[in-house]
């Protein structure tokens, strides 16, 4: 029963609630010393993905971690660079990939990305394996990137390359319907407005690039459901927002996971609801390890001392454990 009964995470004393634990590292943390080599990967549908590689100091590493960022994130986010640095330190190469339109250049097609979009992650794994260098691959995903990771592992267990051995995910909205409703509440206006402002800029760029396919109309968008009904669903083949939330929610795919996978969701995460803590699924699962710290916020997990986050140490420890 891989339900982890106790988590050893303890936040700095002055970060005394989930909001501080979420906002402080996101706003103020800087990770130095990560140098990327960018590769542009052409996708089968005529678009592109920008992949950022960080080799371990030791030459010819045979192990690779592939890191998936959160909504409107990128390979430049502190939590991605911190994870890159943590795995480089133990001799693993790292590949931080950028979802379509998140690398600093708008993608070519009307579609961009979403929580259930596993096609591009699968392609990135294939690109890494095509180098012929890696004997073992671990996947790490944050928030939306965690959703993609869990969904891929569950829906593609039979076709997953044998080199993909372990996965770790943090702060995952496993149930999108309830999580989106929660983020629509007044107390979460700060997060909602921040994300929607970024998405608004992206839709404006897309409308300028593809005026006949993407129409910019944002005046009446107030919550995520408005955005997903107008843009996410039609651009990605869903009937409406409800259809998107149902089909993209990672919770539906957890039973199919067949490699050791750690899911860490903090109790005080301001983005998550009861439906995002799959306790019953983990209790009877052979491969899904669920850890529920009391503290941590959303993609937070600052430590009292040192630059490395608790989440980075936890991911490395889980991946290296046998």
| pLDDT at residue 274, as a whole number | 97
- Sheet of strand 93-98: strand arrangement: 3-4, 288-291, 261-264, 164-170, 136-142, 63-68, 93-98, 48-54, 37-42
Per residue in 1-25, pLDDT (tens digit) is: 588 989 999 999 999 999 999 999 9
| SS3 (DSSP) at 144 | helix
Q: Where are the domains of the chain?
A: 3-175+249-320
The CATH architecture annotation of domain 3-175+249-320 reads: 3-Layer(aba) Sandwich (3.40)
| pLDDT at residue 306, as a whole number | 73
Q: Specify burial of residue 152 (Cβ count, 10 A radius: 0-12, 13-18, 19+).
A: buried
Burial 217-227 (b: 16+ CB within 10 A, else e): ebeebebbbeb
Q: Report the alpha-carbon distance of residue 319 to residue 138 in Å, rounded.
A: 7
Q: What is the DSSP letter of 117?
A: -
Question: How many helices and strands in the chain, by DSSP H and E?
Answer: 11, 9
| pLDDT at residue 90, as a whole number | 96
Q: Report the alpha-carbon distance of residue 179 to residue 249 in Å, rounded.
A: 10
Three-state helix/strand/coil letters over 240-296: CHHHHHHHHCHHHHHHHCCCCEEEECCCCCCCCCHHHCCHHHHHCCCCEEEECCCCC
Per residue in 50-66, pLDDT (tens digit) is: 999 999 998 888 999 99
User: Do residues 141 and 115 lie in contact, with contact meaning Cβ atoms separated by under 8 Å?
Assistant: no
Taking Cα atoms as reference points, which of 84, 113, 88 lies closest to residue 98? 113
Q: Report the alpha-carbon distance of residue 37 to residue 80 in Å, rounded.
A: 15
User: Do residues 305 and 26 lie in contact, with contact meaning Cβ atoms separated by under 8 Å?
Assistant: no
Q: In the predicted model, is pLDDT for residue 305 greater than 80?
A: no
Q: Specify burial of residue 103 (Cβ count, 10 A radius: 0-12, 13-18, 19+).
A: buried
Per residue in 220-267, pLDDT (tens digit) is: 999 999 999 999 999 999 999 999 999 999 999 999 999 999 999 999
Degrees, nearest 5: CA angle 137-138-141: 140
Mean pLDDT value across the chain: 96
Degrees, nearest 5: CA angle 45-48-52: 145
């Amino acid at each position: 029963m891989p339900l982890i009964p106790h988590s050893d995470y303890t936040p700095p004393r002055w970060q005394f609630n989930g909001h501080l634990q979420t906002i402080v590292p996101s706003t103020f943390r800087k990770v130095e010393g990560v140098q990327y080599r960018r590769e542009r990967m052409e996708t089968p549908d005529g678009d592109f993905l920008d992949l950022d590689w960080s080799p371990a100091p030791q030459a010819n590493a045979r192990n690779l971690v592939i890191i998936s960022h959160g909504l409107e994130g990128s390979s430049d986010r502190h939590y991605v660079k911190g994870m890159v640095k943590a795995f480089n330190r133990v001799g693993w190469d790292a590949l931080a990939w950028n979802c379509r339109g998140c690398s600093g250049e708008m993608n070519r097609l009307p579609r961009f990305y979403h929580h259930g979009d596993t096609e591009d992650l699968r392609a990135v794994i294939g690109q890494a394996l095509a180098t012929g260098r890696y004997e073992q691959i671990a996947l790490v995903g944050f928030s939306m990137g965690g959703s993609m990771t869990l969904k891929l592992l569950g829906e593609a267990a039979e076709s997953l390359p044998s080199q993909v051995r372990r996965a770790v995910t943090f702060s995952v909205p496993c149930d999108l319907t309830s999580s989106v409703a929660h983020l629509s509440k007044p107390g979460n206006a700060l997060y909602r407005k921040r994300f929607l402002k970024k998405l608004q800029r992206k839709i404006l760029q897309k409308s300028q690039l593809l005026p006949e396919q993407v129409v910019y109309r944002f005046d009446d968008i107030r919550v995520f459901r408005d955005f997903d009904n107008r843009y996410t669903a039609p651009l990605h083949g869903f009937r409406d927002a409800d259809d998107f939330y149902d089909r993209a929610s990672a919770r539906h795919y957890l039973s199919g996971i067949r490699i050791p996978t750690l899911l860490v969701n903090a109790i005080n995460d301001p983005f998550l609801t009861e439906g995002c803590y799959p306790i019953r699924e983990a209790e009877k699962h052979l491969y899904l390890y669920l850890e529920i710290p009391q503290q941590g916020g959303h993609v937070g997990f600052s430590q009292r001392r040192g630059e490395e986050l608790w989440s980075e140490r936890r991911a490395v420890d889980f991946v290296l454990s046998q």
